[in-house]
């Protein structure tokens, strides 16, 4: 069930992010299953709505379509299997909670669009490349000079072998937001911060 919630959240978020980053526009999404019909219905229902509000409403509607599909498919599967207890659910030969076949196919087409137009876009590749460099450089610095870690993290590296120190450094970095990691990297590696 958590995987389905992730699918709903991530795909809607990625559509919204791609639109905001202008990697594609609302018109580009019209032929794409799931989001295209939502955009068309927003435009039909609210012909004078500006693009930002069209985007927000279309994404909201796509979330609704996906949630409704999971609920309908889950009810259908429960009825078909005649389950009456959690033990019967666990004994099922397939997942009880799932997208319908139609929505799963549409979702695959949406993902293909996002891969082609967003995930493989040169701007995204540059961002991923920069993120890898930032993480690698911070990891290498914290491993070589654990004394630059915040006190609570530095204390956790003491009396550890290289593997144990690497685990602490990884945990510290993994807890960073994107924005915090970028700012920490800037503070650690850019001399203009000190002037």
Positive or negative: CA dihedral 108, 114, 117, 123: negative
CA nearest to 35, candidates 55, 6, 5: 55
pLDDT of residue 61: 98
pLDDT score of 193: 58
In the chain, the percentage of residues whose pLDDT exceeds 70 is 98
Residue that has been written with the tokens 């695959």 in this structure? 108
| pLDDT class of 75 with cuts at 50, 70, 90 | very high
Confidence of residue 122 (pLDDT cuts 50, 70, 90): confident
Residues 6+ apart with CB under 8 A from 151: none
In the structure encoding, which two tokens stand for residue 123, read together? Answer: 């701007």
Task: Report all structural domains of the chain as residue ranges with CATH numbers, in order of start.
Answer: 2-120 (1.10.3410), 126-194 (no CATH)
Neighbouring residues of 110: CB distance < 8 A, sequence distance ≥ 6: 11, 15, 32, 33, 34, 35
Average pLDDT over residues 65-71: 97
Q: What is residue 139's predicted lDDT score, i.e. its pLDDT?
A: 97
Q: Would you state the pLDDT for residue 127?
A: 86
pTM of the model: 0.72
pLDDT (0 to 100) of residue 192 = 74
Give the model's confidence band at 120: pLDDT under 50 very low, under 70 low, under 90 confident, else very high: confident
Average pLDDT along the chain: 93
């Amino acid at each position: 069930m958590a995987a389905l919630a992730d699918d709903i959240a991530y795909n809607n978020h990625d559509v919204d992010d791609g639109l905001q980053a202008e990697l594609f526009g609302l018109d580009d999404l019209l032929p794409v299953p799931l989001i295209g019909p939502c955009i068309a219905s927003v435009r039909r229902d609210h012909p004078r709505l500006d693009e930002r509000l069209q985007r927000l409403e279309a994404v909201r509607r796509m979330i609704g379509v996906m949630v409704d599909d999971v609920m309908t498919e889950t009810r259908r599967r429960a009825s078909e299997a005649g389950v009456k207890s959690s033990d019967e659910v666990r004994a099922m030969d397939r997942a009880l909670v799932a997208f319908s076949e139609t929505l799963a196919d549409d979702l695959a087409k949406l993902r293909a669009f996002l891969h082609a137009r967003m995930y493989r876009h040169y701007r995204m590749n540059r961002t991923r490349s920069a993120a890898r460099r930032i993480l690698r450089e911070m990891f290498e610095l914290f491993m070589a000079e654990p004394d630059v870690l915040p006190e609570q993290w530095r204390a956790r590296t003491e009396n550890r072998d290289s593997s144990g120190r690497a685990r602490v450094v990884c945990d510290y970095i993994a807890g960073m937001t994107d924005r915090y990691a970028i700012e920490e990297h800037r503070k650690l590696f850019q001399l203009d911060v000190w002037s």
